[in-house]
Structure formats: C-alpha cells, structure tokens
Chains A and B, each alone.
Chain A
Amino acid sequence: MMSEANEHAHTIVGPKVYIAILFALLVGTALTVWASFVDLGPWNPVIALAIATSKALLVVLFFMGVKYSSKMTKLTVFSGIFMFLVLISMTLTDYISRAWGSW
C-alpha cells in the first residue's frame, strides 16, 4: 500500500495540448453564443447546457489534468460529480412529484 505501486509518474502536459484546448474552448463559446441567437424552442437550454458541459469536460480533463492523473483522483472526481447529480435529481424528483395526483 505504501510502496511505489501506489504512485505514478507525474505527466507534464505541454503547451501544444493547452493551445488546442484553448482553441476548442473558444470555438465552444462562439458556438454557444451563436446557438443562442437561433430560435430552437425548448432545445435552446438543452444545447447551451450540452456545450457548457463539453467545455467543462475539456477543462477538467486537460487543464486540470484529470486525464493524466492517478486512478484515485479519477475516482474522486467521478464519484463527487455523480453524487452531485444524485442530489440534483432527487431534489427535482421531489419537486416534480410533490403535487402528484392533486391537480
């Protein structure tokens, strides 16, 4: 447990990757602003949140280096976000079903 098996070689991510991600994030921003000018009805929020989530994913994986980090970090990040989604969906489930049958 306390031996080298628990450790990983620290990966240094270079400028090329960071520049590519910067470019992708700027394109994502342009895309989401452009999409907000188009009337897509109920799909406007869906598309805006999908693009925001893709951008957040790029930041987490590359800028924050989760892609190159240890399994423990990956598990920590994943379980945290999963727990957050559980809390949000349970809150919304409660909210949606509170007046169930009384209309």
Chain B
Amino acid sequence: MPDNHAIAHGTDDAAHAEHPPYLRHHFNSAAQQADATNFAMWLFLLTEVMFFGGLFTAYLIYRNWYYPAFVAGSHQLNVVWGTTNTVVLILSSFTMAMGVWCAETRRRRGLVLCLSLTFLFGLVFLGIKTVEYREKIEMHHVPGFHYSLQSFLDPESNSEVYNEYHDKPLAPDMAVHTELYFSLYFLMTGMHALHMIIGIGILGFMIWRARAGAYTSGHVTFVENFGLYWHFVDIIWIYLFALLYLISRHQ
C-alpha cells in the first residue's frame, strides 16, 4: 500500500479493519462500489444496444425495400423451433435471476444449481440453433457460392413450406434478394449466438468459483452484472424472434 494512502486512513491495520476485503480503496463504501460497477455495466450494455440496433435498422430498411423476398425468406424458418428457443431462453433468464437472489441471500448450493441450469438452458438453445442452421445448410440457404434460389423460384419443390404458406414463385430479380434476408438472418442470430457462447463460457467459470463459495459471502457484484448481460442477450432474442420468425407469416 502506498504511504500517502496509509496516512489518509491512519495505520494500515485500521484501514483494513473498517471494510470488507473486496472493497477497493478508491471507493468510500461497498454500496458506492456496487453502484459504480452497476453503472459501468449498463454503459457497456448501451454500446451493445447500439451495436444490435444497427443490425435491426438494416433489417428494417432492407425488409421495406425487398419486401416479397424477405417474406419468402422468413417462411423458410421453423416457428416451432423458434418458439421452443424463446421459451428455453426465458427459462434461462429466470434461473439466472434466481441465481442472483441465491447469491444475495448467501445460498451456495442454490447458486450453483441456478447457474448450472442457466448453463444447461444456454447449451439447449445453441443445440436447437445448430439444428436450424444445419437445415439451412442442407437447403443451400446459406449466402455464398452454394446459395440456391430454388425454394423461391419454384416454391412447390419444398412441399413442407409450401403446404403451410402456399407461396407464389418470386420473379428472378426479386428472388436474388432472399440472399440478403439470409445474410441478415445469419449475421443477427450468429452475433446473438456468439454472445450466448461467451456467456456460457463465463457461466462455467462462475459455477467453478461459486462451488468454492466465492459469491455467497457478501460480494455479489460479478453475479449481478453477469445477470444483466444474460438478460440483455435474452431481450435481443425476444426481438429477433418477433422480427425474423413471426411478422411475415401472413404476408
């Protein structure tokens, strides 16, 4: 500890006896430290809002522009998988919120259980996303050299989708823009999935630390702020689900 700090607080021993070990010396109190950290986490989340906001705006404008292509592209998504994933993610947000409560009320076993369930729901979400992506690969709906317009020039060739929506064939110059729909689909769901993967990684670390009792002795900031991140990722999915899967079903 630097000398000037020791002078400001009297002796070293006295300075440390007054506050919990996790309180940094540049804060007056644990509450002030928690407030400042919470504020910083929100600032980070606002940059994330702007980042995803740019993608949402691009989607909004291109959907207006190439409306028939975006409607036809949207019909290729499976609403059952989308709904299942929405429920899975809401459940994971719930278990995360319960985890924060367990940390605050110092329930170590409860916290480990909640974090593990959140971890598990996260993996289930990614698993379902993999099933969906695989279907897109098989249908040649991944933008690039192997992209195929067949589902849009000849909708009846894809009987499963055709029986549900009875889409009319798109003109070739409109059908090419379905590739733009899928570019945005993979960009948005892919960035969302990347956030999930990062979150699951941090959850693994937290479960390991929580087992040792790291978050159930009064210092819950890390669990709380990770909770904010996880809920934010949930909110992004709530909008992705509405915009990508639901709004074009009757158009």
Contact = CB atoms under 8 A, between A and B. Distances in A.
Interface of A: 2, 4, 6-8, 10, 12-15, 18-19, 21-22, 25-26, 29, 32-33, 35-41, 44-45, 48-49, 51-52, 55-56, 59-60, 62-64, 69-70, 72-73, 76-77, 80-81, 83-84, 87-88, 91-92, 95
B236 to A, nearest CB: 9
Contact of B101 (A13, A29, A35, A59): A13
Interface residues of B, number: 50
Contacts of B113: none
A45 B93 CA distance: 25
Interface in B223-251: 227-228, 231-232, 234-235, 238-239, 241-243, 245-247, 249-251
B43 interface: yes
- For chain A, what secondary structure do more than half of its interface residues adopt (helix, strand, loop), or is it mixed? helix
Interface of B: 28-29, 31-32, 34-35, 38-39, 42-43, 45-46, 49-50, 53, 56-57, 60-61, 79, 83, 86-87, 90-91, 93-94, 96-98, 101, 104-105, 227-228, 231-232, 234-235, 238-239, 241-243, 245-247, 249-251
A36 B239 contact: no
Contact of A22 (B42, B46, B90, B251): B90
Nearest to A52: B242
B231 A64 contact: yes
A12 B104 contact: yes
